Each structure stands twice: as structure tokens, then as C-alpha cells.
Amino acid sequence: MALIAAPAALADGDPASDVLVENTLFNPVDSGVSLSSQTQLEAVLTASKRAGFPIRVALIASQTDLGTATAFWGTNPKNYAEYLGYELSELYGGQVLVVMPNGFGVYGRHTGPDAVMAAEGNVKAIAPGPGEQLATAALSAVPLLARAAGHPIPAAKLAAAERTASPATKALSSSALAPGAVIALIFGALLIGLTWTLSLRARPLQLGRRLPS
């Protein structure tokens, strides 16, 4: 399906700005992120929007993923987040999260309902890296940012997103489970996620704000 993109995005050859005009996630073909993780991340982004915190994510695995904006490769991801946010600004006003192997960048408006909150600057998520680690880092960062912005994603929604990524769990959820088993499944998934988060090195998110027009 053809995408409707901002003229500037089409002109500068920045793939993420083309995709994120209509989609919540840019996951390039060379990212090394599995379909399972992509599905889970898309579900989390949908849950985040429903919680009142719309955010779009660009996973950048290599210099080629930047199209003609290759100058941003190897720099602070905040720089590319600001660039990407500006490219999307005519058609999208929410926040943007960039995840590169060397870190995060967050960009959003300075004022208004979707503005970047000061508390978001204190968020530390799982440090990204190559391949699957890009998705792991994004899955860690989005709920933390939503909570810091005052729009926490319900735990049940996060657990449901995790189930969409696991064929075995999906099979279980399609069968008739007792209420106690459902609760145990949800809290078990949350406990595993919490343990995994605490066991990995955290990375602060770098914030950028678009000045009021």
C-alpha cells in the first residue's frame, strides 16, 4: 500500500520519515529484529496510544537505514530524533523515539498535550545494541516513557502484547483458561520482564524538544 508522506520526507530520501507518517514503527529489513518482537512492539505502541501517549518508533540498525540522512549515523541519536520529528511535524504531532545501537533519542513538542515532559528525561531503559536488542530496548523504553508522561500503559495490556509475540502463549490464550490461570500468566510474564530489565544495563534517554511555532 502506498504511503502518503510529507514532501520534505520524499525529497530527502529519509525512509523512516516516509514510513512513520502513517505507521507507528519503522523496522528496516536489515534490523535483525524478529517478526515476533516486531509484532509485540506494534502491540505496545497501540496500547500506548490508547493510554493517551501516542509515540512512533524508528529502529535504526545501520547507516543505510538513514537513506540520504547518513550524516546522523554515529552521532547522538537525539540529533536524528530531532531531524525525524521535524520531518514528520506537518502530519504528526506526537513524540518520536529513535533507537540506534549506540543509544536512544526522544523528540516532541515543547508545549501541548503531547509535549515531552521533564520526567521523561529521567527515564533509563534497557541499553540498545545490534539486532534483536533494538526491539528489546524499545519495548523497555516505551512503557517507561508513557508512565513518566503521566499515561501509564495498563499491565494487562503489556502482558497481552507479550502474548501476541509468543506462539506457545498465543495457543494457551486461545484455549479455555480458568481466571486464576490467566492471572498467573499475566503476573508471570510481568515478573520475567522485570527480572530481565533489572539484570541488564540501563541507558538514559536523550531528549529533544521542538520549539513552539
Domain ranges of the chain: 7-153+202-210
Lowest-pLDDT range of 34-43, 80-89, 182-191, 203-212: 182-191
10-24, 45-59, 184-198: lowest mean pLDDT where? 184-198
For residue 110, what pLDDT is reported? 79
Give dist(CA 208, CA 80) in Å, integer.
10
- Give 88 or 169, the one with higher predicted confidence: 88
> pLDDT higher for 94 or 59?
59
C-alpha cell at 20: 512513520
Class of domain 7-153+202-210: alpha beta
C-alpha cell at 173: 490464550
First-to-last CA distance in the chain? 33
Please provide the DSSP assignment of 9-41 as one string.
Answer: HHHHT-HHHHHTTT-SEE--TTS---HHHHHHH
Query: Is the pLDDT at 118 greater than 90, yes or no?
Result: no
Residues sharing a CB contact under 8 Å with residue 56, sequence separation 6 or more, in sequence order: 20, 23, 24, 25, 26, 45, 88, 92, 94, 95, 96, 97
Give the containing element (helix H, strand E) for 115: none
Residue 195, number of CB atoms within 10 A of its CB: 10
Q: How far apart are the C-alpha atoms of 13 and 24, rounded to whole Å?
A: 19
**Residue 195 pLDDT exceeds 50:** no
Tell me the per-residue pLDDT of 136-190, one tens digit each, with 9 for 90 and over: 999 999 999 999 999 999 999 999 999 887 653 444 333 333 444 344 444 444 4
Separation in Å, CA 183 to CA 188, 196, 212: 8, 20, 45
- How many beta carbons lie within 10 A of that of residue 10, not counting itself? 15
Does pTM surpass 0.85? no
